[in-house]
Chains A and B, each alone.
Chain A
Amino acid sequence: MRFVLDAEQRLFGETLDKLLTEAAVAGVARDWAAGRHGPGLALWRSLAAAGVLALAVPESAGGAGPLPVELVTAFHELGRHGVPGPYAETVAASVLLGRLPGDSSSAAWLPAIADGTAVVSLALPPAVPYALDADVAGLVLTVDGGELRAAVPGEARTSLDPARRLFAITPGEVIAEDATAATAEGYDMGALMCAAQLVGLGRRLLEVSVDHARTRRQFGRPIGEFQAVRHHLANALVGLEYARPLVYGAALSYGTPDFATDVSAAKVSAAEAAYTAARIALQVHGAIGYTDEYDPSLLIRKARALHSAWGSPAAHRARVMSALAH
């Protein structure tokens, strides 16, 4: 038993961190929010080249996966940097498509997902009612009455997180008739990716808040000397430190009967920890954190959006309890 990342996995995370630091993602996210997708799509291709999207695609379809621990490692970094785009959706779609029986025509999408040429979005009502960034996706999916269908994007809706561009959808042509089991697995994987992003973005918000508390001076000293501020930040750390093991633990239970319950436990914990970190980040920063122009405020907004994306904490708690009730 060794429940920490091995050297190769750690290096993978560090490589992505470096790539994303150099990409200056806050600017990319602001462009994305304004409908200028070029830099974000270039970043998509860079991350695909680094192997991120192939992690979700089965080896038989040109990928390297599914490798849930590596995916969680990658999505932790995507979350830390606030990368815009339908990454969790594409991973969920790839798991879903990879699980479809036989020689379904949709399987042709998998190699294109793996090499970064296909951006996919999907809506899985009721937990995922809108398709994220459907206007940049080459394929938009939905599931209706157990049938996998192409989805026709409609009106765009505005999210609190300006880099999350959500589209109402209408179910279109049928792609596969019995997709119930595949959908369940795709949904769980999407929720796990969302949980990993939440832990990563909570981490980043704690990092920037600690930096702020060390340098911002009031009453002649750094505000990080005030116990009220210190204890807020300590509490944020406690939450995140115990969410992370649940997220990796769920990744390791992929393919077992516990996966769905473990994902729900991870999503509840990650959502609450990241949201708590976001509220604390806002409070510790004071007014500057409440501005549109301050980059970490993009993450503060994303924390609230992802808190309820891919199943609200209430929905995931209910799922945990229904599993435990038997």
Chain B
Amino acid sequence: MDLDLSAAEPFRAEVRHWLRAHVPATPLPSLETGEGFAAHRAWERELHAARLSVVSWPEEYGGRNATPLEWLVFEEEYYAAGAPGRVGQNGVNLLAPTLFRYGTPEQLARVLPPMASGEVIWAQAWSEPGAGSDLASLRATATRADGGWLLNGQKTWSSRAAFADRGFGPFRSDPEAERHRGLTYLMFPLDAGGITRRPIGRIDGKPAFAELFFDDVFVPDRDVIGDPGEGWRVAMSTTGNERGLTLRSPGRFLAAADRLVELWRERGDPADTALRDRVADAWIRARAYRLKGFETISRTDDVGAESSVNKVFWSELDVALHETALDLLGPDGELEGEWLEGYVFSLAGPIYAGTNEIQRDVIAERVLGLPRAGR
């Protein structure tokens, strides 16, 4: 057992050097606005030109074959540098791993390069009005048509869909089949004829997600991922990534915890030991998450359902860390600013990617081996 990171240090130095020269001096406008979305897309282009937008991907798709350790190191440097949020993360972190597992060579060659450069930004379209935590009850349909499929129905809470270019998600392709059976995983353009998108203001009013209405939207066969009818299996390969390390890398929390300690130094009252202890806890938990990440990439077995343990941990850490920052800011905590933006973002964490209640059920059943519940 060791924690020798030296193999990744040359890469760390290169990334740090590049970021120091390129990270915008003033934060970009919020990526949940039209203006901010465009600015973040331009930033992705800049990262891509330096081959830093998707470091762990193969070179042919715009990456540089970085090892998992190098990827973790990249993330540490990225967030420590205060670099912009990743507007393309739903594609890069959720769709790409699914394509690497189930996509055809043609799909990989066609979809990945423009994803890497930010030319095409992807939105995840999974939830429906009647299918949130109970995803298997989804009802939006894909019906056979000449050379492809016609999509009908409604998706909702689709992150980034207000401004994104394309979407992906499971649709019911066999109306006779129930729940996990008879689903097909598809990619579709968000500006296609027949799609209506209605941006939804999140809790602070910014249009961070959208409702999508499908009215005979045509999708060619080449945009089906995996076999028709196998959509549940394909979708589940995404959830592992979503709940595991890739969506929320340790670097993000390490940087936020360091900034929290900085805020404590500037504004903390040394006599307020209760608040000081919360700062300490946030820092300790961010460190724990980092070390757990090193453990995860060191393992040779499949992490599987344990990714749910991860999701509960980081989503609760994110909320606690930002609550502590707002408490340190006192009466200024309610004012618009980076901490408040981070706080609002963190509040969604225990809800998206499968609520933490669903995660705890997964942990109970598939990690601890408790009997299947009647719920």
Contacts and interface: CB of A to CB of B under 8 A. Distances in A.
A321 B2 CA distance: 26
A321 B280 contact: yes
A210 B370 CA distance: 7
A9 interface: yes
Contact of A6 (B1, B7, B360): B1
B361 to A, nearest CB: 6
Interface in A208-267: 210, 213-214, 221-222, 224-227, 230-231, 233-235, 237-238, 241-243, 245-246, 248-249, 252, 265
A317 interface: yes
A160 interface: no
Contacts of B25: none
B283 interface: yes
B373 A318 contact: no
A183 interface: no
B284 interface: yes
A318 B4 CA distance: 28
B360 A230 contact: yes
A18 interface: no
Contact of B370 (A3, A224, A321): A224
B364 A231 contact: yes
A237 B367 contact: yes
Given A4-B298, A224-B364, A317-B277, A265 B287 contact: yes
A69 B1 contact: yes
Contacts of B8: 1
A287 interface: no
A317 B363 CA distance: 29
A5 B344 CA distance: 39
A195 B205 CA distance: 45
Contacts of A252: 1-3
Interface in B265-304: 265, 273, 276-277, 279-281, 283-285, 287-289, 291-292, 294-295, 298-299
B1 A265 contact: no
A245 to B, nearest CB: 4
Contacts of B291: 3, 245-246, 248-249
Interface in B241-279: 261, 264-265, 273, 276-277, 279
A277 B83 CA distance: 38
A210 B313 contact: no
B284 A265 contact: yes
Interface residues of B, number: 49
A317 B277 CA distance: 6
Interface string B1-32: 11111011000000000000000000000000
Contact of A249 (B3, B69, B371, B373): B3
A2 B370 contact: no
B285 A242 contact: yes
Range, interface on chain A: 35 or more
Contacts of A4: 1, 295, 298-299
B368 to A, nearest CB: 5
Nearest to B306: A241
A276 B27 CA distance: 40
A57 B115 CA distance: 56
Interface string A1-33: 111111001000000000000000000000000
A226 B276 CA distance: 37
Nearest to A231: B360
A80 to B, nearest CB: 17
A137 interface: no
Nearest to B312: A238
B331 interface: no
Contacts of B359: 234
A317 B276 contact: yes
Given A1-B3, A238-B309, A245-B294, A233 B370 contact: yes
Contact of A320 (B280, B289, B371, B374): B280
Contact of B309 (A1, A214, A237, A249): A237
A230 B308 CA distance: 14
A245 B370 contact: no
A232 B4 CA distance: 36
Given A237-B309, A324-B283, A1 B5 contact: yes
Contacts of A90: none
Nearest to B7: A1
B373 A227 contact: yes
Contacts of A221: 371, 374
A230 B281 CA distance: 26
Given A242-B288, A265-B284, A5 B364 contact: no
Contacts of B372: 225
B369 A210 contact: yes
A297 interface: no
Contact of B288 (A235, A246, A320): A246
Contact of B279 (A227, A243, A321): A321
Contacts of A242: 285, 288-289, 292, 313
B375 A3 contact: no
Contacts of A233: 364, 368, 370
Given A237-B367, A317-B277, A320-B283, A226 B373 contact: yes
B257 to A, nearest CB: 10
A206 B284 CA distance: 23
A169 interface: no
B357 interface: yes
A268 B281 contact: yes
A208 to B, nearest CB: 12
A3 B2 contact: yes
Contacts of A318: 273, 276, 280
Contacts of B368: 206, 210, 233-234, 237
A320 B281 CA distance: 9
Given A246-B291, A317-B276, A241 B4 contact: no
Contacts of B365: 230
Contacts of B283: 265, 320, 324
**Most-contacted residue by chain A among B261, B264, B364 (CB, 10 A):** B364
Contacts of B7: 1
Contacts of A238: 309, 312-313, 363
6 contacts: A3-B294, A210-B369, A224-B370, A230-B361, A233-B368, A269-B284
Given A224-B371, A225-B372, 11 more contacts: A1-B3, A1-B69, A210-B368, A227-B373, A227-B375, A234-B360, A237-B309, A242-B288, A243-B288, A317-B281, A321-B264
